[in-house]
Every structure is written in C-alpha cells, then in structure tokens.
C-alpha cells in the first residue's frame, strides 16, 4: 500500500481524481492550494489502459490496475513529493442508472410556505423518486443490491414557476424535481477497495452529467455534447444545475466502422486513419475520407437535433453548445453542428478555461478525451467551496442528507 510512502510530512497536499471508464482509467493529481482566482493547479495527468470486462470490474479484479496506479504515483512522487488528502472517482453513464422525477403537492394559497411544510414535501418527494429510479436500476442491472450515489434537488416550482427559495411565498401548488442515481453495490464496494488498497479512502463518487453541468455556471444554459469511443452523451444544464441528460448509441466507433467498410481496412487501420485525418494527415484521397466522415457524422447531428426537440428546447438562442470527448477532434462535428444548429447558438470545444476551479500552467491536458476528468475535479473543488453556500441551500441539503440516511 502507498499510504506509508505518501505520509504527511512537508509534502504538498493534493487531491487524486480518478475517471473510471470501460477501457481506461484516467488519473489527475491536483494541488490543494489555489491562486488568487481560487484555481487549483494540475500537477499530473496519467492514462492507464485496461481490457477488463464489466463483470471483472464489478467483481473488483483490479490487481493489474492497482499495480499500475502504484507504479505511476511512485514515479511522480520521486520527481516531486506530495501527500494525497482526498481521493474521488468519476463514473460514466454505463455504470449507473439515473432518473428525473417530478412530484406535485397542493398547498394552502392563503398561507406562506414555511420550513416545516417544505421539509414534509421534500421528504415525501424524495422517497417517491428514490423508489422509482431504484426499480429502473434493478431492471437494468438485474441486481437488487444497489447503492444510492447521487440525490440532487433540481428545481422547486410554485404554481409552475421556478423559484430559488420558496420560504415565505404563497402558492396553491408546489412541484419539486429530483435527480437520483444508483449503481450496483458491488461496484461501489469494488471502487472502495481499489482506493483503500493504494492507501486513500474513497471520499466521493461523481456522475458524468452532474459534473459536466457546472460548465453552465457562466451561462444561462449549456448543451454539452460528449462524443466518445463508446457513446455520445448529451447534457442540458442551467446555472450549474443538471436539467436533462440522454445517451446516444452513436460514437467514434461508427466512423471507424464506416472507414473499415468503405476502404477495406481492419479496425486498427481504420482507427489510425481517423486519428491521422483529425491531424490533417490523409491515408487516402482527402475528399474520399471527408465523404465517409460526413455520411456518418450527419447521422449524429440528426440524433442531436431530435434530442433537442425531446428536451423541449424551443428557444435556445441563449444556449451555449459545448463539445467534449475525443470525437470533438473530428472537424465535421463542429462544422455540421454550426451549420445545422446555427439558429440556436455557437459551438465551442470545452477546454480548461471552462472549469472555474482548475488551472493547467504546464499544459498537461492536451487530449479532449480527458476533459471529463476535469469536470469531475472541478465538481469536487466546487463542493469543497462550501462557504459560498446560502443558509437556505444548507438547510435543504441537511434535510436531504437526513432523508437519504434514514432510507438506506
């Protein structure tokens, strides 16, 4: 175990962020100290490839990964001593089941809403939404042993109008929207054992769409599109809060398959062709590769447009579109998004500048596929900034913590 190696002496205190995906594990080492803009410096970035099946991950067969984490951290420590004080893990959508749930309650419109009334509404709604998403998770995983890993109050509405603080206001109806997520209990236990083995207890698990939502803190609305090797995730957020999310089965693998079929290539050759194409290196005639790319990406854009309609975003001219993931390197993605969605808003590649609490002075993050890792780190650092939390928000969070604890 590494705990003895990275013991508290005079080393720099750091946070270890892990992004666990189906084919790799990304690591980020972030300084606990921050500059005058409250930005924490990124000290190291590592990517560990793995070929574990989902079942092996659930069973905690992490020996090879544990050894590699130990090796990488030891090498980094020898270069510059540090002390890890917190370890957090991010999970992509394949590892959890989530759901939004709206509950409505009739209230006396002649009396202002007090904390007792609101507490009763929140507790009843939280219980209903928890049971609803738990049933979905049991069906998805074929497993009755689940772990609640996320429970967020998304919105409070009085007479169908969103409010930040309902206390003291009058209304005939109150609606609350929750976002809850479950993973399999054995996955949670496996991740806990993984971090404990290397000497750092797991402090928190973050979910991909929730972490990404913080990008919208500087915008009224943000539509975040992450195109990865296994899927495309679409997240709608406003003022740092998750509103809606959806997974599309389209991925960069669709482009690779098109190349392999059209040019009679192996999967590895087609993958290499895509990488070269994104770097302006052409294994075949440029117009032929572009044609194959356009044919495939047009299918993605159509699915994105259908999702926008499904999200009921009828007026998103004030919505910023962000691209994340390795697929954001494909030039036709930005080109077609701007062409087909030009009535909605501009499209930007998500960079370190979109994460309020992070700074990368050494420019360690160069791969757009690692931007999700930044989102997890930014979410963790944002949560640590509790001094900015209002008294009302603190009370609400306390109610939800107590409710979740009593229901476990």
Residue 123 within any structural domain of the chain = yes
| pLDDT tens digits for range 99-110 | 888 889 999 999
Out of 80-94, 115-129, 209-223, 285-299, the most confident range is 285-299
Task: Name the pLDDT band for 397 (thresholds 50, 70, 90).
Answer: low
Out of 11-25, 221-235, 287-301, the most confident range is 287-301
Same structural domain for residues 342 and 209?
no
* Helix axis angle, 115-141 to 391-407, nearest 10°: 50
Residue 247 within any structural domain of the chain = yes
Domain-terminating residue out of 326, 350, 374: 350
Domain span at residue 197 reads 12-94+187-214+357-385
Residue 70 within any structural domain of the chain = yes
Q: Would the pLDDT of 234 be above 90?
A: yes
| pLDDT tens digits for range 134-191 | 888 888 888 888 988 888 888 889 998 988 889 899 999 999 888 888 889 998 998 8
Same structural domain for residues 51 and 85?
yes
Residue 3 within any structural domain of the chain = no
Same structural domain for residues 200 and 270?
no
Same structural domain for residues 69 and 29?
yes
Same structural domain for residues 18 and 101?
no
Same structural domain for residues 207 and 81?
yes
CB-based contacts of 357-360 (< 8 A; 24+ apart in sequence): 357/34, 357/38, 357/39, 357/40, 357/381, 357/382, 357/385, 358/30, 358/39, 358/40, 358/42, 359/35, 359/37, 359/39, 359/40, 359/41, 359/42, 360/41, 360/42
Same structural domain for residues 138 and 283?
no
Longest dimension (CA), the chain: 73
Same structural domain for residues 135 and 104?
yes
The residues, ordered by sequence, that sit 6+ positions from 287 with a Cβ below 8 Å of its Cβ are none
**Predicted local distance difference test score (pLDDT) of residue 1:** 44
Gap between the Cα atoms of 288 and 299, Å rounded: 18
Residue 130 within any structural domain of the chain = yes
Same structural domain for residues 150 and 234?
no
Same structural domain for residues 258 and 402?
no
Residue 7 within any structural domain of the chain = no
The CATH code of the domain that includes 145 is 3.30.1490
CA 327 to chain centre: 16
The CATH code of the domain that includes 234 is 3.30.420.40
The residues, ordered by sequence, that sit 6+ positions from 396 with a Cβ below 8 Å of its Cβ are 122, 153
| pLDDT tens digits for range 51-72 | 888 788 878 888 888 899 999 9
Same structural domain for residues 339 and 398?
no
User: For residues 88 and 376, is the Cβ–Cβ distance under 8 A?
Assistant: yes
Q: Would the pLDDT of 398 be above 70?
A: no
Q: Would the pLDDT of 313 be above 80?
A: no
Q: Domain tally for the chain?
A: 3
Same structural domain for residues 103 and 162?
yes
Residue 1 within any structural domain of the chain = no
Residue 5 within any structural domain of the chain = no
């Amino acid at each position: 175990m590494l705990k003895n190696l990275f013991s508290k002496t005079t080393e720099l205190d750091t946070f270890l962020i892990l992004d666990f995906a189906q084919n790799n594990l990304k690591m980020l080492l972030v300084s606990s100290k921050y500059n005058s803009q409250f930005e924490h410096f990124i000290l190291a970035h590592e990517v560990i490839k793995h070929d574990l099946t989902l079942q092996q991950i659930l069973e905690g067969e992490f020996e090879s990964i544990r050894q590699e984490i130990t090796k990488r951290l030891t090498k980094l420590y020898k270069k510059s001593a540090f002390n890890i004080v917190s370890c957090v893990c991010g999970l992509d959508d394949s590892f959890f089941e989530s759901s939004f749930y709206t509950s409505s309650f009739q209230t006396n419109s002649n009396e202002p809403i007090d904390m007792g009334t609101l507490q009763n509404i929140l507790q009843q709604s939280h219980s209903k939404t928890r049971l609803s998403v738990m049933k979905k998770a049991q069906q998805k995983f074929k497993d009755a042993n689940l772990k609640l890993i996320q429970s967020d109050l998304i919105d409070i509405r009085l007479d169908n109008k969103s409010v930040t603080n309902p206390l003291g206001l009058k209304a005939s109806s109150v609606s609350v929207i929750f976002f809850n997520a479950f993973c399999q209990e054995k996955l949670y236990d496996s991740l806990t054992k993984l971090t404990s083995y290397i000497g750092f207890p797991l402090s928190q698990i973050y979910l991909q769409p929730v972490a990404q939502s913080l990008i919208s803190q500087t915008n009224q609305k943000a539509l975040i599109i992450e195109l990865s090797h296994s899927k495309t995730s679409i997240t709608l957020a406003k003022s740092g809060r998750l509103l809606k999310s959806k997974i599309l089965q389209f991925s960069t693998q669709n482009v690779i398959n098109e190349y392999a079929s059209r040019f009679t290539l192996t999967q590895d050759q087609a993958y290499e062709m895509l990488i070269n194409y994104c770097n302006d290196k052409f294994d075949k005639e440029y117009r032929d590769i572009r044609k194959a790319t356009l044919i495939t990406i047009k299918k993605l854009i159509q699915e994105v447009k259908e999702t926008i309609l499904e999200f009921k975003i009828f007026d998103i001219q004030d919505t910023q579109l962000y691209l994340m993931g390795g697929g954001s390197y494909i030039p036709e993605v930005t080109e077609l998004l701007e062409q087909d969605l030009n009535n909605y808003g501009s499209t930007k590649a998500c960079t370190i500048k979109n994460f309020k609490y992070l700074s990368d002075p050494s420019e360690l993050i160069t791969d757009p596929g690692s931007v999700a890792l930044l989102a997890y780190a930014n979410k963790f650092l944002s949560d640590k900034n509790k001094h900015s939390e209002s008294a009302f928000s603190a009370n609400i969070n306390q109610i939800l913590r107590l409710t979740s604890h009593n229901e476990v």
